[in-house]
Amino acid sequence: MGKYSFVLSDTLYKQYYLFKEHQDYDKDILLHLLKFRCGEFLTNTRQLDDIGIGDRVSKSLYDSLKHARLTKQTLEELARKTDYKLILCDDRTDYPYVNIMSDQISSHITGCFYRNAHRDKAIRHIRALCQDAKKICLYDQYLNACKDVLKLILPNKKVELVYHSKHLNDSAVADLQKYNPQWSFSLDDSLLTHHDRYIVIDNKMEIILSSGFMYLELTGKELTYVVRPVQENRLLVNG
């Protein structure tokens, strides 16, 4: 996992700054915000100036942001540089924003979508998590029926996709390679048998899908997914 977990909206970053500086802050906002703290929050000089604290933060912080060229990016652009590709806020729910007060995506980085609920936010979130990957392990016994979903979530770039022969047949692989020739496929039948459906990104982050890949597209069943760092290699046989 990287250094930065999330980006904060201007309102939340100002409250977070006031909290760190032991000044008056909104306790309700901070109570919800700190549940999401699992790494540093990414900002830039533009945001600090916009919320009126550019001349109040430490010179070393401000200069380090300039040195890292974290200056003019929008919040959406900054979010793409974080682990979870999300912007925490208190007033929006459209991707990549997560309302810390009430949202389908929780402080445990868990998305929950009820039956008949549209899954566009989940698709966009998972696609963003995959966008910089060099290697993605796909584990779902019904991958053959999920080609359209894979086309929605996999990055349009060179990436190695690892799969089990019982999950994805030669015809499906050929179809996906035709759709995007940049994708390479690695067959690995040493993948262990699991009930859960997984996406493992560069062996650093895993996404667990409760109802399988197909329910990112279909809405007839509830879908829950969890995003977390890989603490152990759950899919590959050791040795």
pLDDT at 21 over 50: yes
Give 192 or 159, the one with higher predicted confidence: 159
For residue 47, what pLDDT is reported? Answer: 98
pLDDT digits (tens, 9 = 90+) for 41-92: 999 999 999 999 999 999 999 999 999 999 999 999 999 999 999 999 999 9
Contacts of 44 (CB under 8 A, 6+ apart): 65, 70, 71, 72, 73, 78
* Residue 137 and residue 215 in one domain: yes
Q: 3-class DSSP state for residue 69?
A: coil
* Residue 183 and residue 219 in one domain: yes
Average pLDDT estimate for 165-173? 94
- Which of 47, 78, 99 terminates a domain? The answer is 99
pLDDT digits (tens, 9 = 90+) for 95-141: 999 999 987 777 778 888 999 999 999 999 999 999 999 999 999 98
pLDDT at 239 over 50: no
Residue 198: CATH number of its domain: 3.30.870
Domain hosting 167: range is 110-229
Rounded Cα gap, residues 111 and 104, in angstroms: 5
Rounded Cα gap, residues 16 and 30, in angstroms: 7
* Residue 153 and residue 173 in one domain: yes
For residue 238, what pLDDT is reported? Answer: 39
For residue 194, what pLDDT is reported? Answer: 59
Residue 235 lies inside a defined structural domain of this protein: no
Contacts of 173 (CB under 8 A, 6+ apart): 163, 185
- Which of 50, 72, 99 terminates a domain? The answer is 99
Q: Are 89 and 140 in contact (CB under 8 A)?
A: no
* Residue 143 and residue 84 in one domain: no
